[in-house]
Homo-oligomer: A and B are copies of this chain.
Amino acid sequence: MSEPLTPVSRQERKLRTRQALLDTALELLADRPFGTLSLREVAKGAGIVPTAFYRHFASMEELGVALVEEATRTLRGMMRSARTDPDTYQGMISASVATVHQFVRANEDHFRFLTRERYGGGPLARAIAVELRLFSGDLAIDLARFAPLRSWSTEDLHMLADLIVSVMLTTIVELLEARPADDAKITGTAEKRLRLVLLGVPHWKSA
């Protein structure tokens, strides 16, 4: 149970309990929305007394914001991982969907939290919205490098990027609600949806 004899500095211990708070919160969030969990149960889960919670966060809301930061770090990792620029649509599509699939399965808690609180209202939803806009903006920049999209206006590129993000988020939610046995079916449908969207690209006229 006890950690090795390494003296464990003071701030290191603090960081650990802070992480324990974030972890138990995320765990409790597996099956209920953020607004329903209490400071006391998070503290208890992390093995500290309720009043000690305030040594780390001024309120539950502040904890929530920290959780958004942690989860969006995973999201950015996914985006970085997907940026392997293959040369064909089909290659890009299946590679991207595979990346999403892999990241979702490896970080279910983070994605469940993000998708659940995205429309939950309050400051959390706003923080997530900001992060998703950044995400979509990055995607638009990436898309601009593709030959068939060179001539598109930035506005249309953002429209396309939002559409793709929307499809991806739908897929993520489907993955989280399904048993892993159905993963292949879900990723297959996701690829179809993206293919259909990109099929329209060569024939697009903005007007």
Q: Which residues of B contact A119 (CB under 8 A)?
A: 115-116, 118-119, 173
Interface residues contributed by chain A, number (CB under 8 Å): 36
B interface footprint on A185-198 (CB within 8 Å = 1, 0 otherwise): 00001001101111
B192 close to A199 (CB less than 8 A)? no
Name the CB-closest residue of B to A112: B121
A190 to chain B, nearest CB (A): 10
With A and B bound together, what is the CA distance between A189 and B206 in angstroms?
A: 11
Say yes or no for A203: interface residue by CB 8 A criterion. Answer: yes
Contact of A196 among B116, B160, B177 (CB under 8 A): B160
Interface string of A141-176 (1 = CB under 8 A from B): 000000000000000100110110011001001000
CB distance B192 to A159 under 8 Å? yes
